[in-house]
């Protein structure tokens, strides 16, 4: 069963940098995906498990995590959490970001 939830996504832009902020409620997850480049993710609050290519590691805020290029990753909230994905891009149209960042 699939449940759609409001992740409270906010978009933040600066010169050549994009940050996607999302609120992950306890026991929910951000779907697995990969990027063609390394990028940083920041756990601002809460506690999560980050699964990268099948290997899981737990993080408690505050934490800054490097996600390597080509690695499928998924974030599972162990408690209510605030997560930021940081990307180098000049794209500023929220409707085009997924296509640019993950090809989808």
- What pLDDT digit, counting tens, does each position of 42-94 carry? 999 999 999 988 899 999 999 999 999 888 889 999 999 999 999 988 989 88
Across 13-32, average pLDDT? 91
Q: Which residue has the tokens 């990268």?
A: 52
Q: Which domains does the chain have, with CATH numbers?
A: 10-92 (2.60.120.10)
Give the phi and the psi of residue 34 in degrees, each rounded to 5: -140, 155
pTM: 0.84
Q: How many CB atoms lie within 10 A of CB 50?
A: 20
Local confidence band at 21 (pLDDT 50, 70, 90 cut-offs): very high
Q: What is the largest CA-CA distance in the chain?
A: 40
């Amino acid at each position: 069963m699939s449940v759609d939830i409001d992740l409270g996504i906010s978009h933040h832009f600066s010169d050549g940098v994009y940050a996607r902020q999302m609120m992950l409620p306890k026991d929910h997850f951000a779907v697995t995906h990969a990027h063609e480049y390394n990028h940083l993710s920041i756990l601002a609050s809460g506690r999560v498990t980050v699964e990268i290519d099948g290997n899981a590691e737990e993080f408690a805020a505050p934490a800054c995590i490097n996600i390597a290029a080509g690695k499928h990753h998924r974030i599972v909230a162990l408690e209510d959490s605030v997560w930021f994905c940081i990307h180098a891009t000049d794209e500023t149209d929220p409707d085009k970001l997924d296509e640019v960042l993950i090809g989808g």
